[in-house]
Each structure stands twice: as C-alpha cells, then as structure tokens.
Chain A
C-alpha cells in the first residue's frame, strides 16, 4: 500500500472522505465533458475570487463618507499590490456579469432548464438578481465622483415605483439624500447580506442541480456514453478558471481601474455614466418620461423579469434542440441584441453631443490627474477642534495662556477634551453654573484632589480669564 492510500484510509475512517469525494467527482455527465458546461463552475470560481479579494480589500477600507475615498486611495496608491487587487475585484465583477450571461445563454440554448428543474432555474434567477445587487452596491463603495453620482441616479429610479417609491428610496439611502448612511447600508448589503444570500442560493442551486442530474446535450436520443465529472470536466473547469485569472490579471496589470476625485455632492455639473452592464438600462430609461415613466421603469422590467423567472413553467415541451424552439431562443437573442443596441445608442448619443464629450473628457482627465497625484493622508481632527474664536479676544487668549502656564493642559488635554480618568472641560457651565467653577478651582473637592487636581493659585484677573477660556470650550 502506498503512503498516500494509507493517509486516505486513515482520513476516510474518520471523515468518510472517500464517499464524499466519489459523490462529488463521479457525478455522471450524459454525453461526457464539454466546454459548454464550464460557465457554472466558472461563476463559482469568480464568486470565491471576489470573496477573497473583497476580504483582503476590507483590511484597509473604511465604510464612512469621511474616510472611504481616502482608504481606497491608500489601497491604490500606497499598499503593495493594492491597485492590482482592487482592479482584480472590480474587473471580477464585470467578468461575473459576462460569465453569468454565457451561463444563462447556454442554459437557454441547450434547454437545460427543462424537466424537473423549475426550482433549479428559480434559484439561478435569484442568484442573477443577487449578482446585479452586488455590482450595484459595490460600485458606490470607493465614494468617488462617478460612484456617488451614478448611485444617486440608480437610487432615484426606485422613487418611480408607485405608492411606496419615495419611501423605498429613503430606505435604501438611509435618508432623503445620499450620504454616509447610504454608504453604510450599501457596505452592509455588499459584504454581509448579499454574499450570505449568494452562498445560500449557490448551495441550493448546486444541490438541486445534483438532484436533477446534468441535462446533457440537447438531443432527443439518450447519449450513448456517460462521462463523469472527474477528470474530464474538472480539467476543463480548472482550465477555464486559469483562463479567467490570467485574463483578469493581465487586464488589471495593463489597465488598472481608476479612482476619481472624492465625491462632491455640491458638484452640479458632474455627468454620471454607469458601469457598462448598466448602460443599456440607463439608455432605456431615457425614453420614458412623465406619466409613462412608470410603464418603462417599473411595469415593463417587472413583466420581463416574471417571464424570465417563469420560463421553465411556460416552456414545458420536452423538446430541447434550439432550432426546434425558435420562439424561446429567438426572444432571448432579440433581448440580448436589444440590450447591445441600447448600449451602442447610449455611446452614440454621448458622442453626438459636443458638450457631453467635453464634459466626459474633462471628468476622465480629472480622474487621471487624481491617480497621478501622490497619496494625501487624511488629517485626524482629534486635536484640532480647540476654541479658536475665543483666542481672538484678549481675555480669552490670556485665559488660554493661564491654562498652559498652570499646566491644566497636561491632564485635561490641550483642547480640554480630557483623557481617560480625567474629566473633560467641555460644557462645564452646565455642571457648575455661576461662580461654582471659580470656587472649586480655588478649593478642589477631596475627590478632585484624589484624582490629581491641585488648587489654583493665580490672581483673580487670571482666574477670570481662565474661566472665560474654559467656558468657551466646545
């Protein structure tokens, strides 16, 4: 017996790994392995790659409107391989959309949703929606100009929903306007809720797939040969994963994803353009105005989504050959071509308007200039909030001088904020109204003396100046 077999036996007695492996790897594939079947596992691989790169990006990212942009700039400009990993994550989301469309196309072309696969298909439809949700929520996180304004438009669409529209938009944004609450919500959706749902639905999707069995080629005859998942299909799947990594890696190295200047909500001129896969939708929305808007923005997409989700219920014939199912395959092709045309129309419309061209070019140049500028760390405001206004007043300034001369700052901090164990001096007037403060400064309570407070021995004028200064602290 070889050493490896010995180790496997040892493991198997404790875990039942042989049974698990053969369950996973000996899955029968009617007609044998095919390149057409690689997209499902390609998606799983891409999702895991997104999870891994995403977790690493979270090492440096901070989801707050104050810091999000700086931390992404830090990742891109300072951290080793930071720009590469962020590009991999960003291009990875585009790759997921591409492979997802290929997966759906293959399923529709092969009619592999037929038979007892309605729930398998529905789980896939949910995964499609969750993936679109991931790209929508992830797009905002860098908090640069295009992320901010594209998401502002995207969330505005929600307001078109009848009756609950305004309420829905406010819920998603965490307020009436876009702000740090929006960022928190999108972050939570992007890293907790949606990934958890994706994991769950991937499990359901794979389970239902194994339960129904691989559909095999779209032929009315039962295939003469039956292959197994291992090794042929596994090899093709790994080859496809390798191709994805190499392609995304090359793209990330050659064309790193840009980070634009920080979001400025006051910039009324910024012209947002969504990520390429949302451009067709963006163009579609242009055609619906006024009272008809609800039809184009809500009714038609909802009907299409229902038809898409209901496909295995509507198309119940056993026939799977694509040329015998011209309506289903034709509709899919027409919708795909329609989306491509909408995308091209959008580009053409942008190019035809010199004002738009100029603005988009200016925005692109601003993003490039920002990328070339060295990283600027955020300045922590922790110690800069002193009462500067009071220092303009001679009595206040004298008070500040007394504060330093008497070493009050040593324990209470240079801005009176206090430190652990030492009380803050901010808002003391509410605690000690009138002359009470002067009294305890001259004669501290025993409790204060225990804490290290010493009696103040200064002329009355200096004491008054000090009170003026301390009472101005906010």
Chain B
C-alpha cells in the first residue's frame, strides 16, 4: 500500500511538473522577448546631400527625422542637429543637446559661438567647450556618407559627466 502511494505520488509530481513546464516555456519566451530581440532601435536618419555641407564655413543647423522602433510603434520625431566641417574636411554632426542639463544649444551667428541659453554654457564653432558649467564639449553623433547622402544615428548621452556615454 505504502509503495503504491509513493508511486502515485511520483506520478502526480511528474504530471504537475509536465503541465507547469509545458506552460512555462512559451510564457517565458513571451515575457523575455525584449531580451533577445531589439524592440527599441534607432535607425539612420538622413541629414542631407553631403555636397551641401562640403563648403560650409559656419555650423549649419539641420532638422533630421529620427525613425525609431518602439515595440509595436514607429516613432517619428524631428530633432535639430548641427553640421560642422571637421579638420579633415569631412562633415561632422553635433547633437544640440547640452551635456550639462540637456537644454538645447543654439548657434549665435553674431558671436560665432554655440550658446546653451539655460546656464550660459559657451562652445566654439567646432563644439569644444569654451566656458560655463557643461562638463564636456558638444557631443558628436555617429555619421556616415552613403551614396552622397550624409546620414546620422541620433543618440542621447549621459549628462553631467566629463566623458561621452551613450544612454539607451
């Protein structure tokens, strides 16, 4: 009798664990989906024809449309960036988000400098820090020229730290 009961008990344990296992595998895969698949992804945005920026002498503001996948939706947002000419003549793209507290930096034609209006941060025409509270110069965004089109990957960087660190 005791042997039969423990056999039935083992059968029961087997039964319940199979039910649990059969259900938990798909449930786990479902809930953990964002761990293995990119659900938030920043795509390359067009800034403009690369030729347009070949001869610029001062920073040029460009509005880019950032196309981002956010799970089941696609978020289109417009972000301002600045295109400046690097030392090698290649265009560089700078984020307009101030590395201090995230205010939007504006280009002052009159002063020939970038200004962050909130706390009087000043940057030179190539984005290096001149004065004010920002801990580092303006952040350069990853950019490439593909088929004659300047493209940029828009990202945000951690504020208030001296080094440039990407935040998701």
Give A residues with C-beta under 8 Å from B: 45, 49, 52-53, 56, 59-60, 67, 70-71, 73-74, 78-82, 84-85, 88, 231-232, 234-235, 238-239, 241-242, 245-246, 249, 375, 377-380, 382-384, 404, 407, 409-411, 413-415, 452, 454
Contact = CB atoms under 8 A, between A and B. Distances in A.
Contacts of A238: 12, 15-16, 19
Contact of B26 (A81, A378, A404, A407): A81
14 contacts: A67-B73, A73-B72, A78-B37, A79-B30, A85-B30, A231-B5, A235-B11, A246-B22, A380-B70, A380-B73, A380-B74, A409-B78, A409-B80, A410-B80
B139 to A, nearest CB: 15
Interface string B65-81: 00001111111111010
B161 interface: no
A234 B11 CA distance: 11
A154 B167 CA distance: 50
Nearest to A406: B106
Nearest to B13: A238
B54 interface: no
A243 B29 CA distance: 22
Contact of B75 (A49, A56, A380, A414): A380
B56 interface: no
Contact of B30 (A56, A235, A246, A380): A56
A74 B72 CA distance: 6
Contact of B72 (A49, A377, A414, A454): A377
A383 B78 contact: yes
A382 B68 CA distance: 13
A380 B19 contact: no
A404 B26 CA distance: 50
B148 interface: no
Contacts of A56: 27, 30-31
Q: Which 3 A-B pairs have the closest CB atoms?
A: A74-B72, A238-B15, A81-B26
A379 B76 contact: yes
B3 to A, nearest CB: 13
Nearest to B7: A231
Interface in B16-75: 16, 18-19, 22-23, 25-27, 29-33, 36-37, 61, 63, 69-75
Contact of B8 (A49, A71, A84, A231): A231
* B contacts with A: majority SS: mixed
User: Could you say which of B15, B36, B72, B103 has the most chain A C-beta atoms within 10 Å of its C-beta?
Assistant: B72
A452 B117 contact: yes
Given A52-B23, A85-B30, A377-B74, 11 more contacts: A80-B33, A81-B26, A231-B12, A235-B12, A238-B12, A238-B15, A245-B19, A383-B76, A410-B104, A415-B78, A452-B117
A239 B72 contact: no
A454 B30 contact: no
A382 to B, nearest CB: 7
Interface of B: 5, 8-9, 11-12, 15-16, 18-19, 22-23, 25-27, 29-33, 36-37, 61, 63, 69-78, 80, 96, 103-107, 117-118
Contact of A407 (B31, B61, B76): B61
Nearest to A408: B106
Given A56-B31, A235-B8, A238-B15, A67 B22 contact: no
A85 B23 CA distance: 9
B27 A414 contact: no
Contacts of B8: 231-232, 235
Contacts of B12: 231, 234-235, 238
Contacts of A81: 25-27, 29-30
Nearest to B35: A80
A380 B37 CA distance: 21
Nearest to B63: A414
A105 B96 CA distance: 71
A365 to B, nearest CB: 25
Given A79-B33, A234-B12, A379 B19 contact: no
Nearest to A84: B26
Contact of A382 (B19, B22, B77, B118): B77
Nearest to B66: A383
Contacts of B107: 407
A454 to B, nearest CB: 7
B106 A407 contact: yes
A1 B29 CA distance: 41
Contact of A85 (B27, B69, B74, B78): B27
